[in-house]
C-alpha cells in the first residue's frame, strides 16, 4: 500500500498544484514502461511516510504521463523530456524540476522548500 496519491486527470492535477499554497507539492511524472520510475516509487513512498510522521506539509503525487491527452499536453507545455521528472511546487509556483530518480536530490530540494518562505 502506497502513501502516494495518483493523479488521474487535469482537474486533480490543478487541485494538487493549488494545495501548494499551503504545502510543498511534489509531482512525480512517470510512465508505466520506465524502469527508473519503478525504482523511484517505493523511495518516494517512504519519503512521504517520513513527512507524514513529522507532520510536515508535503504531499507527493504520481502523474502517469500516459493517462490522458490533457495530462500529455500539460507535460509537453512544461517541457517534460524524460521520465522520471519531478516538479516541486510552492505557493502555486513551480520552484524546482529534478530529472531522474535521484532521491537524495529530491529530498534535499523538498527540505529546502519546507524551510523557506518563498
34 is catalytic: yes
Q: Which of 34, 49, 95, 97 is catalytic?
A: 34
Q: In a 3-state reduction of DSSP, which class is residue 52?
A: helix
Q: How many alpha carbons lie under 13 Å from residue 57 in its C-beta half-sphere?
A: 15
Q: Has 37 been annotated as catalytic?
A: yes
CA dist., res. 92 & res. 118, Å (int): 11
- Rounded CA separation 27/59 (Å): 9
Give the active site residue among 7, 16, 27, 37: 37
In contact, 44 and 104? CB cutoff 8 Å: no
As annotated, the active-site residues are 34, 37
Amino acid at each position: 500500500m502506497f502513501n502516494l496519491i495518483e493523479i488521474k486527470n487535469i482537474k486533480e492535477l490543478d487541485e494538487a498544484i493549488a494545495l501548494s499554497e499551503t504545502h510543498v507539492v511534489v509531482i512525480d511524472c512517470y510512465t508505466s514502461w520506465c524502469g527508473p520510475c519503478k525504482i523511484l516509487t517505493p523511495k518516494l513512498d517512504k519519503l512521504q511516510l517520513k513527512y507524514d510522521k513529522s507532520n510536515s506539509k508535503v504531499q507527493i503525487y504520481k502523474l502517469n504521463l500516459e493517462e490522458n491527452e490533457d495530462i500529455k499536453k500539460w507535460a509537453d507545455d512544461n517541457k517534460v523530456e524524460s521520465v522520471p521528472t519531478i516538479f516541486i511546487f510552492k505557493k502555486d509556483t513551480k520552484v524546482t524540476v529534478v530529472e531522474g530518480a535521484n532521491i537524495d536530490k529530491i529530498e534535499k530540494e523538498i527540505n529546502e522548500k519546507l524551510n523557506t518562505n518563498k
